[in-house]
Structure 1
């Protein structure tokens, strides 16, 4: 009995997702079909249709899992200890200095190799 109810819920979820997808596809089609109308009205209409499709999709098992994942992600982001402004500036300056130093080292290495190749080929200086 439980398997039958679960299969029925799965079919209903599939139908809901198909309706949400069709609604969204219809909204996108209408957005381009009514190109003569105001862009603002078309965008508002597309947002309303997209919101309706999202509500329908969130009523499925996959949608509930997605919403739970989003909630869990927000909880984890709140736990992160973000760097202070001073730490961010210091880290950025260190990275920029290292990039500059590494760029100079690579330029010198390239110059030495180019001089060596010119010497071996017999062109130049």
Structure 2
């Protein structure tokens, strides 16, 4: 009996997801089909249809799992200790200086190798 209920729930979830995808496809088609109507109205209509599709999709098991993942992610982001403005500027400055140093070293290395190659091939003056 339990496997029947799970199978029925899974098929209902599949139908809900199919309806949500169908709504999105219809909304996108309508957005381009009614190109003569104001862009603002078309965007509002597309947003409304997308919200409806999202509501339907979040009624499925996968939708609930996705919503739980988003909620957990937001909770973890709140725990992050973000750097101050000064720390960010200092780190950015260190990265820029290191990129310049590595670029100059690679440029010099390239010049040395090119000189060696020209000497070996006899193309140098």
Normalised TM-score (structure 2) = 0.96
The answer for unaligned runs of 5 or more in structure 1 is none
**1:124 Cα offset (Å):** 2.4
User: How far apart, in 2, do the equivalents of 1:52 and 1:77 lie?
Assistant: 28
Matches within 5 A, 1:1-125: 1-125=1-125
CA offsets per residue over residues 10-42 of structure 1, 9 Å max, x none?
111111111111111111111111111111111
Normalised TM-score (structure 1) = 0.96
Query: How many residues are matched?
Result: 125
**1:91 Cα offset (Å):** 0.8
